[in-house]
Structure 1
C-alpha cells in the first residue's frame, strides 16, 4: 500500500502532507515554493510509493469555485501528464486556513510563529488529508 499525498496549492507556496504507508495517519510534510513544486513532486514520488494524490478544492460559501481554481486546474493538467498512473481526488478546502491557525493557537504557538504562512499551508494540507481519510 502506498502513501496518499495531499496538496494545498497556492500561487506562491504549496503545503504538502502525507500519510504513513498504511494510510492511517496524516502528517505535514513541508511547504514548497510553487515554482519548484513539480521538481519536488518528481523527487518525492521517485523515492516514495505514492498511491494517490488529494488536492484541495477551494470553494466560496455559495459552493462555486474560487478564483484560484483556474491555477489549480493548470497544475492538475501538468501533474496528470507527468504522473499519468496516479489517481487524483479533490477535497473541499473551505476554512482549512482558519482551522490551521486555530490549531496553531491551540498548540500554544506564539503570535510570531503563527504568522509563518508556510506553516499555515503545511497544516492546511494536513487538514485536507485528514478530511479525506475521515470521509473515504
Structure 2
C-alpha cells in the first residue's frame, strides 16, 4: 500500500503532508522551497511508496480560479513530464490557511510561533490531506 502526499503549493514555499500507509492518519511532513519541490519529490518517491498526490486548488469565493493557479499549472506541466505515471488529484483548498492559523491558536502556540509561514503551509497541507481522507 502506498502513501498519499498532499501539497499546499505556493510561489515561495510548498507545505507537504503525508498519510500513513493505511491512509488513516494525516501528518505534516515539511515545507520545501518551491524552487526545490521537484527535486524533493524525486528523492521522496525513491524512498517511499506514494500512490497519490493531492495538490491544493486555490479558488475564489465564486469558485473561479485564483491568480496563483497560473503558477500551479506551470508546476503541473513539469510534474507530469517527470512523473507521468503518478496519480494526481486536485483538492479545493479554500480557507485552509485560515484553518491552519486557527489550529495554531487553538493548540496554544505563541504569537511568534504563529508568524512562521512555513508552519502554516505545512499545516495547510495536512488539512488538505485530512479533508481527502475523511470525506
TM-score category of the 2 structures, normalised to the smaller one: over 0.9
- Please give the alpha-carbon distance, in whole angstroms, between the structure 1 residues aligned to 2:37 and 2:6: 13
Is 2:10 the partner of 1:19? no
Corresponding residue number in structure 2 for 1:79: 79
* TM-score, structure 1 normalization: 0.98
- Please give the alpha-carbon distance, in whole angstroms, between the structure 2 residues aligned to 1:96 and 1:63: 15
Deviations 1:4-26 (A, max 9, x none): 00000000000000000111100
| Divergent runs of 4+, >3 A | none
Corresponding residue number in structure 2 for 1:94: 94
Which stretches in structure 1 are left out of the alignment for 5+ residues?
none
| Structure 2 SS opposite 1:112 | helix
**TM-aligned CA deviation for residue 57 of structure 1:** 0.2
* TM-score, structure 2 normalization: 0.99
Number of aligned residue pairs: give it: 135
1:17-56 paired onto structure 2 within 5 Å: 17-56=17-56
| Structure 2 SS opposite 1:32 | strand
Corresponding residue number in structure 2 for 1:111: 111
Which stretches in structure 2 are left out of the alignment for 5+ residues?
none
RMSD: 0.5
Corresponding residue number in structure 2 for 1:57: 57
